[in-house]
Amino acid sequence: MSEYMNFFARLARESTDRKREFLELGRIAGRFPAASTVENGEISVWCSNDYLGMGQHPRVLEAMHRAIDEYGGGSGGSRNIGGTHHYHVLLERELARLHGKSDALLFTSGYSANEGSLSVLAGLSGNCAVFSDQENHASIIDGLRHSGAKKHIFRHNDCAHLEELLAAADPGQPKLIVTESVHSMVGDIAPLAEIADLAKRYGAATFLDEVHAVGMYGPGGAGIAAQEGLASSFTVIMGTLAKGYGMTGGYVAGPAELIDAVRAHARSFVFTTALPPSVAAGALAAVRHLRDSDDERRRLAENARLLHTLLDERSIPYLSDHSHIVSVLVGDDERCRAMSRLLLQRHGIYVQAVNAPSVRVGEEILRVAPSAVHLPEEIRKFAAALGTIWTELDGPRPARARVSG
């Protein structure tokens, strides 16, 4: 075998902890929390990011079918060269309006929206100082890395530390603060009013990732900044269409001159095929539905509250009660995987064990995502099943106080 092949053979033998096996799901149309797998029959899903069930919503599916009939399958090209369809343009306008910004730009994923736009917004001026939360998502880290900008990392949601770093920077230098509103793994919510205030005092622009908030929080689903009346204090709001909106794709919304620069320079926008028009049409239907309906948001909040209560009754620790992301702290890779396995085998419940690199070694979690479409009796069954397995397998875990709101 060549040296090259030897390396990967050795890696496969030695790094069994990084070996990934994925559960194959077949969705049952119209009934999202129930899905099927080849081996386990019908199961109940507790780790989907389709938090509001919009991926199965009749209005969304109807819009997609109609767009396929109108425009066919793929988009046929990059946005620059033959791939811009009517629905892309309508969706960008709708998203700009949702966030109260003058323009918005679609990407094929939230990952590429962060990576592409931050590489431009932090990189183009050549002398930008970036202030980035320590726990920011990989797509933010990669975008900032590709920007080449000087990074100052502040401790997670620690505004005193952020201020220290801002105060130490050259007052004449362009500055950008980058953070997430609802954190993807902890589920806590950033202190946006304080961040906005610091940005103002130190003359910094702000980039807010609202991936786990758009559709779910704020008036019309406009996110946490809007909920707190702060949307205009954040220069750029970034979101995904893949979670609350149940589709796929990502976007940035902001002042036209910034979005123009991203449109012209972001490599992950320029050099790739645009989203299929049917996906843009489905996302547009989802954005419009959630702009007008509070039902899904209300049910999501009620379901998250019920789950918090049931976990508290069983003394099962989770990282934050700020949001619908309920990360049960297991703190051990093996135990976490075993809990996930037993939930599936014994109870037909699917919740993925989350380990490194998504969380630190020793801070492994079961990232439980109650959705708007789980029924209260399903939530009770879930908590009872987790309670039994927790009692059986509980062990040492890192001391970590819950972030409470």
Binding status of residue 179 toward ligand PMP by CB under 6 A: no
- Binding ligand PMP by CB under 6 A: which of 57, 79, 88, 137? 137
Q: Which is closer to ligand PMP, CB of 120 or CB of 389?
A: 120
DSSP symbols for 199-221: HHHTT-EEEEE-TTTTTTSSGGG
Binding of residue 154 to ligand PMP (CB under 6 A):
no
From 149, 186, 242, 287, residue interacting with ligand PMP (rule: CB under 6 A): 242
Nearest to ligand PMP of 211, 274 (CB atom) = 211
Name the minimum Å distance from CB 183 to ligand PMP: 7
**What is d(CA 66, CA 46) in angstroms, rounded to the nearest whole number?**
31
Restricting to residues 14-73, which ones interact with ligand PMP according to CB under 6 A?
Answer: none
Identify which range of 108-116, 159-167, 305-313, 345-353 contacts ligand PMP by CB under 6 A: 108-116
HSE-CB at 31 with a 13 A cutoff on CA atoms is: 9
CA 334 to chain centre: 25
Residue 16 makes CB contacts below 8 A (sequence gap 6+) with: none
- Single-letter residue type at 369: A
Binding ligand PMP (rule: CB under 6 A), the pick from 48, 75, 114, 157 is: 114
Q: Give per-residue burial for 353-367: e unless 16+ CB within 10 Å, then b.
A: bbbeeebeeebbbbb
Nearer to ligand PMP, 226 or 242 (CB): 242
All residues at 6 or more sequence positions from 369 whose CB lies less than 8 Å from its CB, including other chains: 46, 47, 48, 49, 51, 324, 325, 326
Q: Residues 7, 10, 12, 17: is their CA dihedral positive or negative?
A: negative
Comparison of 209 and 332: residue with beta carbon closer to ligand PMP: 209
Closer residue to ligand PMP (CB): 254 or 332: 254
The only residue of 221, 250, 277, 370 in contact with ligand PMP, by rule CB under 6 A:
250
What whole-number distance in Å separates Cα of residue 300 and Cα of residue 51?
A: 8
Binding of residue 240 to ligand PMP (CB under 6 A):
yes
CB of 394 to ligand PMP, least distance (A): 28
Q: What is the nearest approach in angstroms of ligand PMP to the Cβ of residue 327?
A: 12
Q: How far is the CB of 140 from ligand PMP (least distance, A)?
A: 7
Cβ of residue 316: shortest distance to ligand PMP, in angstroms? 23
Q: Residues binding ligand PMP: what is the number (CB under 6 A)?
A: 13
Between the CA atoms of 143, 287, 227 and 151, what dihedral angle is there, to the nearest 10 degrees?
Answer: 0
Q: Which residues have CB under 8 Å from 20's CB, separation 6+?
A: none
Residue closer to ligand PMP (CB basis): 114 or 316: 114
Q: Do 145 and 98 touch, CB atoms closer than 8 A?
A: no
Among 147, 184, 227, 340, the residue binding ligand PMP under the rule CB under 6 A is: 184
How many CB atoms are located within 10 Å of the residue 66 CB? 14
Task: Give the separation between CA 208 and CA 368, rounded to whole angstroms.
Answer: 24
CA distance 96 to 47: 29
Rule CB under 6 A: say whether 109 interacts with ligand PMP.
yes
Q: Which member of 101, 175, 200, 243 is catalytic?
A: 243
Q: Is 200 a catalytic residue?
A: no
Residue nearest ligand PMP, CB atom distance: 110
Residue 187 vs 317, nearer CB to ligand PMP: 187
Active-site residue set:
243
Binding site for ligand PMP (CB under 6 A): 109-111, 114, 137, 139, 180, 184, 209, 211, 240, 242, 250
